Chains A and B, each alone.
Chain A
Amino acid sequence: MIGCVQGAEARRRAYRGRMIEIEGLTKRYGEKLAVDGLTFAVRPGIITGFLGPNGAGKSTTMRMMLDLDNPTAGTVRIDGRHYRQLRDPLKYIGALLDAKAMHGGRSAYHHLLCLAQSNGIPRARVHQALDTVGLTAVAKKRAKGFSMGMGQRLGIAAALLGDPRILMFDEPVNGLDPEGIHWIRNLMKSLAAQGRTVFVSSHLMSEMALTADHLVVIGQGRLLADTSMAEFIRRNSRSYVRMRSPEHERLRDVLAAAGHTAVPAADGALEIDGVSAGDLGELAAGHGLVLHELSPQQASLEEAFMQLTAESVEYHAHSDTAGPAVPAGPAPGPDAAPPPPPQPAEAWGADWQRKKGR
């Protein structure tokens, strides 16, 4: 017991300054582990992206963070306390989990008013929040008639109501038109710029690349990466040059002689890291080589992300019975794996098939 207490004390010290701490969070539905021993912290004052393919356990994790679902194991702490221990939780955390989580028969104004009253938030804030999301004109209209985008805005107004330091959004851009997506992106950035903590989930890497400062990636309920966005980009956005020549073997020799490592690609081209296309072109010209292709390439973050999560699926399929979770901490993926091949989508689909057939 004493050891336990000391351990908790040490963790608390280590996590000082962190707003949301998730420790060993696990959720089991019957046979299926939806969330599997997640441990990470959401740091204050930045946008943390919570990334994973559909069904990875993002929403389940977020519901457990708000104490809506009971974890099978593990804990969530907000400023060191459990959600249930918070007095007036809307003043700590504002969350948008599901745009439709409201009574359609109630007007936007009354929806926000009843939430405000339950947390002792002054009525004036209701008008402010409606104004912020641009719903003042339809405040008295019943939410039933709202479009997807308006419902989303009302949900965000509810999240902003208590002027919380932490905001949580679950797939906020889903189902929105480009204008709405743009609006939400800017809103999240301005919230973070005000010094608030923003925790936002998505299954789109491209979306996260535009907004997030930090990334928490999960797949199959397990932590795959917990890294800063800059670090993730540096590791995963490999740039290289593709070269193709009818004189394949001679090109290889010339490259080898010049000290460049050429990796043959599937279609007969060569991929060269760390040299500019210009230098390689001049090198080829110097040896009188005919080139059919000389193109600088950039692996997209989307591919890197798919590669990362596809591996988790594969790993999971082969070692289902082995208990221990992926160790929490720095990303295991990018280091262990070679740079992404050009067909990540196919690899992902193949994994799915294999898993299905199991």
Chain B
Amino acid sequence: MAVASQVLTSEWTKIRSVRSTVWTLGIAVVVTVVMGAAICLLVKNDFESMPVRERLTFDATSTAFAGMGLGQLAMIVFGVLVVGGEYSTGMIRTSLAAVPQRGTFLFSKIAVATLLAFVVSLVTSFVAFSVGQSLLGPDLRVGLGDPGVLRAVFGGALYMTLITLFSMGVAAVLRSPMLSLGILMPFFFLISNILGAVSATRKLGRYLPDQAGQKVMKVVTTGDDVPYGPWGGLGIMALWVIAALIAGYLFLKKRDA
């Protein structure tokens, strides 16, 4: 049996020795922070002219995370490339010859990528929050000590980590990075939003992984009628992630490499 610590070290070497890691994670940080900052700036300038209803339900925390919708796409690319890159390059055969215990191989890879994604997400989340709050100005800003805020900021990091994990599971099933991205990107960028916006599918849409998971980043929930709380939403997302990872593992175990 391969020793897990050896495989973890090996996977760490793999992940740090390709440029796509730095690029995708770097873009995730920059896009999330910059987009969030820009939205905060816009909101601060237009706040007085916004409708009363919007002013009353204004959520300073989730406004700072406005860039996450786009930033998460870079995390998806990261997750897909970590797993799918093995297949598209043919490296998978070399990797599995070195570590024939496929469960050890897959979960070591996922563990290393997840830890890295979590650290990057945590930094992103806290930076996006503090930059956003400082731009919102003294009238609108909230602090980490306010009720629910620390949970939302920490939850933001967990959300981005889970979305990365989900894409790794999907990539393990589909094997092709192009196919995985072709499905995941439009899904999270468009389809999920459309399903959530159309009244007929809204009840269904809020059980999708991203919509359920994003609940954890909201502090002000007035007028929100979703049947789960912040952690409940993250739990629903976690169930999706677990399902994707189990499917990925089963496919890797059964199929020819």
Question: Is A282 interfacial (CB 8 A cutoff)?
Answer: no
Chain B residue with Cβ nearest A90: B98
Question: Is B137 interfacial (CB 8 A cutoff)?
Answer: no
Among B73-120, those with CB < 8 Å from A are 85-86, 89-101
Q: Report how far A203 CA is from B101 CA in the complex, Å.
A: 32
Whether the pair B13, A89 counts as a contact (CB closer than 8 A) is no
Contacts of B254 in A (CB 8 A): 70
Comparing B3-11, B33-41, B160-168, the segment that makes contact with chain A is: B3-11
CB distance from A34 to the nearest CB of B (A): 11
Question: Is B144 interfacial (CB 8 A cutoff)?
Answer: no
Among A102-123, those with CB < 8 Å from B are 102-107, 110, 113-115, 117-120
Question: Is A177 interfacial (CB 8 A cutoff)?
Answer: no
A117 and B6 in contact (CB under 8 A), knowing A86-B100, A103-B91?
yes
Comparing A92-100, A257-265, A294-302, A303-311, the segment that makes contact with chain B is: A92-100
Contacts of B89 in A (CB 8 A): 100-105
Choose among A66, A83, A105, A115 the residue that contacts B19 (Cβ–Cβ < 8 A): A105
Question: Is B20 interfacial (CB 8 A cutoff)?
Answer: yes
CB distance from A200 to the nearest CB of B (A): 16
Whether the pair B94, A69 counts as a contact (CB closer than 8 A) is no
Q: Report how far A117 CA is from B90 CA in the complex, Å.
A: 19
Whether the pair A68, B17 counts as a contact (CB closer than 8 A) is no
Contacts of B92 in A (CB 8 A): 101
Chain A residue with Cβ nearest B11: A114
Q: Report how far A15 CA is from B190 CA in the complex, Å.
A: 61
Q: Which of B85, B94, B99 has the most CB of A within 10 A?
A: B94
Whether the pair A69, B256 counts as a contact (CB closer than 8 A) is yes
Contacts of B2 in A (CB 8 A): 87-88, 118-119
Contacts of A95 in B (CB 8 A): 97
Whether the pair A103, B100 counts as a contact (CB closer than 8 A) is no
Question: Is A18 interfacial (CB 8 A cutoff)?
Answer: no
Question: Is B198 interfacial (CB 8 A cutoff)?
Answer: no
Contacts of A102 in B (CB 8 A): 89-91, 94
Choose among B3, B10, B14, B98 the residue that contacts A89 (Cβ–Cβ < 8 A): B98
Q: How many interface residues does B have (CB within 8 Å)?
A: 32
Contacts of A235 in B (CB 8 A): none
Contacts of B97 in A (CB 8 A): 66-68, 89-90, 93, 95, 97
Whether the pair B96, A68 counts as a contact (CB closer than 8 A) is yes
Question: Is A16 interfacial (CB 8 A cutoff)?
Answer: no
CB distance from B131 to the nearest CB of A (A): 32
Q: Report how far A87 CA is from B6 CA in the complex, Å.
A: 11
Whether the pair B90, A100 counts as a contact (CB closer than 8 A) is yes
Question: Is B1 interfacial (CB 8 A cutoff)?
Answer: yes
Interface of B, secondary structure class, is helix
Choose among A69, A88, A110 the residue that contacts B13 (Cβ–Cβ < 8 A): A110
A120 and B13 in contact (CB under 8 A), knowing A69-B257, A95-B97, A103-B89?
no
Whether the pair B6, A118 counts as a contact (CB closer than 8 A) is yes
A110 and B17 in contact (CB under 8 A), knowing A68-B96, A70-B256?
yes
Contacts of B56 in A (CB 8 A): none
Among B197-256, those with CB < 8 Å from A are 254, 256
Whether the pair A106, B17 counts as a contact (CB closer than 8 A) is yes
Whether the pair A84, B91 counts as a contact (CB closer than 8 A) is no
Contacts of B1 in A (CB 8 A): 85, 87
Q: Report how far A63 CA is from B85 CA in the complex, Å.
A: 20
Q: Report how far A67 CA is from B252 CA in the complex, Å.
A: 12
Contacts of A63 in B (CB 8 A): 93, 256-257
A118 and B10 in contact (CB under 8 A), knowing A67-B96, A102-B89?
yes
Contacts of A103 in B (CB 8 A): 14, 18, 85-86, 89, 91
Whether the pair B17, A119 counts as a contact (CB closer than 8 A) is no
Whether the pair B101, A84 counts as a contact (CB closer than 8 A) is yes
CB distance from B52 to the nearest CB of A (A): 53
Q: Residue-by-residue, is B108-141 near A (CB-CB < 8 Å gives 1, otherwise 0)?
A: 0000000000000000000000000000000000
Q: Which of A83, A93, A100, A105 has the most CB of B within 10 A?
A: A105
A101 and B94 in contact (CB under 8 A), knowing A68-B256, A89-B100, A106-B18?
yes
Question: Is A166 interfacial (CB 8 A cutoff)?
Answer: no
Whether the pair A105, B18 counts as a contact (CB closer than 8 A) is yes
Whether the pair B100, A84 counts as a contact (CB closer than 8 A) is yes
Among A65-81, those with CB < 8 Å from B are 66-70
Q: Report how far A120 CA is from B11 CA in the complex, Å.
A: 13
Q: Report how far A120 CA is from B7 CA in the complex, Å.
A: 9
Whether the pair A107, B17 counts as a contact (CB closer than 8 A) is yes
Q: Report how far A317 CA is from B95 CA in the complex, Å.
A: 39
A-B contact pairs, 16 of them (CB 8 A): A67-B100, A68-B256, A69-B256, A70-B256, A83-B100, A89-B97, A89-B100, A97-B97, A100-B90, A103-B14, A103-B18, A106-B17, A113-B13, A114-B11, A118-B9, A118-B98
Query: Which residues of B line the A interface, CB within 8 A?
Result: 1-3, 6-7, 9-11, 13-14, 17-20, 85-86, 89-101, 254, 256-257
Query: Which residues of A line the B interface, CB within 8 A?
Result: 63, 66-70, 83-90, 93, 95, 97-98, 100-107, 110, 113-115, 117-120, 158
Known contacts A89-B100, A118-B9, A118-B10, then 11 further A-B pairs from the complex at CB < 8 Å, ordered by chain A residue: A63-B256, A67-B100, A84-B100, A84-B101, A97-B97, A102-B89, A103-B89, A106-B14, A106-B17, A110-B14, A114-B13
